[in-house]
Structure 1
Amino acid sequence: MSRDRESPAIDRTLRPAVFFDRDGVLNVDTDYLFEIDKFVWIDGAIDAVKAANDAGYFVFVITNQSGVARGFYEETDVHRLHDWMARELEASGARIDAFEYCPFHPEGQIERYRLVSERRKPQPGMIVDLLSRFPVDTNRSFVVGDRPSDIEAARAAGLPGHAFPGGNLRDFILPLLASG
């Protein structure tokens, strides 16, 4: 239910991975973003994804989307936005290997989404699910987020977490890729 677009053919060779939070890391956080016309890439975000691709990393998006539980938008809106993001990245020669999102929130207005979920950050469920599906070298992988819950999810999954302070995402991630 909370998986999104995923690359169809997976090579089983171990590779490191970058797990990006979405809002505030890849795009400007505008609270409950689901509309393509309101989406704004963070400076250097497309180049950061491409740099990770070129360095041989899997690139994943892990994002809490409580707007679904709150009734602000539907899961189909999340899929539509992620598909659009993937097309935008592909046009620049970059790719996301898989998008994961959590539509649940314990205080949601929509009953079927009103629950505590292991997939909702700071819980590590989205990361753990990706680790079970992809041949990830966890010793060389990391999470990039902008909130404490992102860093807590990374630690709970046994990965280092790096807090993106804003600015140019490519400039932020290049030293992390080089050290991996």
Structure 2
Amino acid sequence: MSKALFLDRDGIINIDHGYVHKIADFEFVEGIFELCQLAIAKGYQIIVITNQAGIARGLYDIAMFEKLTQWMVAAFAGHGIAISKVYYCPHHPSKGVNEFVTPCECRKPEPGMIMQATQEFDIDLAESIFIGDKISDMQAASNAGIECKILVDSRYTSEQSPDTVDGVNRINELTEANEYIK
């Protein structure tokens, strides 16, 4: 079994400007490349787990998301970082304009994307880490059985206390996550 560093996308990999779907609007968060390089050096796979309700809302389509994702993965590769896979949920349970408006097993806080990655890559969740900027990220990690959960303070963390999820390590900046990579 291997271990993984699971990363949310918006707010962790890129600055969250709201439904980022164009390369021109994609700004990498300070320290993301260094964090991933450290994780790879310590034996972690890098896996992205992201809700993309903008697809259900009709703000962009899957092809646009995949184009941006390919560009992002190439940018990581340019820094010597292999992203094993990007899992995304295009659904929203109630808001949207297309067939993706539906409840699902993959939208965080559900653990569906994490469980799919676990099966595909034979991941030991007890040895893995999840970094996100929303309580739903921490809930998904907890629901999947990931013990090391890191919540980066954001505009979303004031909405709900992380105390609703056991074992959350709260940090102010992504660069503080380096100390959890062992």
- Scaled to the shorter chain, the TM-score interval is 0.7 to 0.9
Q: State how far apart, in whole Å, the 2-side matches of 1:15 and 1:54 are.
A: 13
Q: Is residue 49 from structure 1 mapped to residue 21 from structure 2 by the alignment?
A: no
The aligned residue for residue 21 of structure 2 is 34
> Counterpart amino acid of 2:74?
R
The aligned residue for residue 4 of structure 1 is none
**Which is bigger in relative contact order (C-alpha 8 A, separation at least 6)?**
1
Secondary structure at the aligned position of 1:113 is classed as coil
The aligned residue for residue 133 of structure 1 is 120
Could you list the structure 1 runs, at least 4 aligned residues long, displaced by more than 3 angstroms after superposition: none
Q: Is residue 162 from structure 1 mapped to residue 150 from structure 2 by the alignment?
A: yes
The aligned residue for residue 78 of structure 1 is 65
The aligned residue for residue 11 of structure 1 is none
The aligned residue for residue 77 of structure 2 is 90
> Counterpart amino acid of 1:138?
L
Cα offsets for 1:42-87 (capped at 9, x unmatched): 0001111111112110110000000000000001111111100111
For the aligned residue pairs, the C-alpha RMSD in angstroms reads: 1.3
- Percent identity over the alignment is 34
Q: How does the TM-score come out when normalised to structure 2?
A: 0.86
Secondary structure at the aligned position of 2:2 is classed as coil
Q: How does the TM-score come out when normalised to structure 1?
A: 0.87
Q: State how far apart, in whole Å, the 2-side matches of 1:76 and 1:172 are.
A: 34
Cα offsets for 1:78-101 (capped at 9, x unmatched): 111110011111111112111000
> Counterpart amino acid of 2:176?
F
133-142 or 54-63, which moves further after superposition?
133-142
Q: Note the 1:97-108 alignment, pairs <5 A.
A: 97-108=84-95
Aligned-pair CA distance for 1:168: 4.8
**How many residues in Structure 1 have an aligned counterpart in Structure 2?**
164
Q: Is residue 63 from structure 1 mapped to residue 50 from structure 2 by the alignment?
A: yes
